[in-house]
Amino acid sequence: MSDTNKVEFGLKNVHVGTYTVDDATGRVTMGAPFKLPGAVNLSLDPETEEVKSYADDVIYYADYSDNGFSGSLEMMRFPDEYKLKFCGFIQLDDGGIAQSKYATRPNLYIAFEGDGDKEKRRGILYNVRASVPSREHKTKEGSNEPNTESCDLTVMGDNETGLTRVYYPQSAEGYDTIFTNPPAPQLPATSE
């Protein structure tokens, strides 16, 4: 498989679902995908730590530890159904959607798609913690520019395999099913 793209752009088809690990077996269960319409921006910065050891008056050893990613997901608006399913919001008897400071939130996976100059690519992030969406409320200033919502992300990755994200070109087997039956993290089989 070769990467035919020179550049990539765009963000669409964002899907999220629960990411659950059985403590006894380590088996990962991927919940049903939930489509989030209105993707604006997904930013991810590596969480790396530099390690340096000195000997003989020089840097004798240097390396970086990989601790996943941190970033944010910006949407035009997170639907109420998302907030109820994934953010611990509560549907009140009077119809209100309430945020509770005692809410618990599940870990997630996030799948998404981007375009390239030659072909589309899809990606998936494993074992993600997402904050409750934040929103700025502001006055209209002569035009109807929409306000957006965003949530902070910490991508911890799968503890068993170490996989944090996977990208699929259109030729990959997992490309077609990523939004309907997302793949659990799995390392390639080794031949002996």
- The proportion of the chain whose per-residue pLDDT surpasses 90, expressed as a percent, equals 68
The pLDDT of residue 135: 85
Q: Rounded mean pLDDT of 9-29?
A: 93
pLDDT band at residue 73 using 50, 70 and 90 as cut-offs: very high
pLDDT band at residue 88 using 50, 70 and 90 as cut-offs: very high
Nearest CA-CA partner of 150 in 47, 77, 85, 45: 77
- Answer for the pair 69, 128: CB distance below 8 angstroms, yes or no: no
For residues 28 and 140, the model is more confident at 28
The pLDDT of residue 71: 96
pLDDT higher than threshold 80 for residue 148: yes
The pLDDT of residue 22: 92
Predicted TM-score (pTM) of this structure: 0.88
Nearest CA-CA partner of 150 in 17, 38, 18: 38
pLDDT band at residue 115 using 50, 70 and 90 as cut-offs: confident
- Answer for the pair 127, 159: CB distance below 8 angstroms, yes or no: yes
pLDDT higher than threshold 90 for residue 84: yes
Nearest CA-CA partner of 40 in 19, 21, 12: 12
- The proportion of the chain whose per-residue pLDDT surpasses 70, expressed as a percent, equals 96
The pLDDT of residue 3: 65
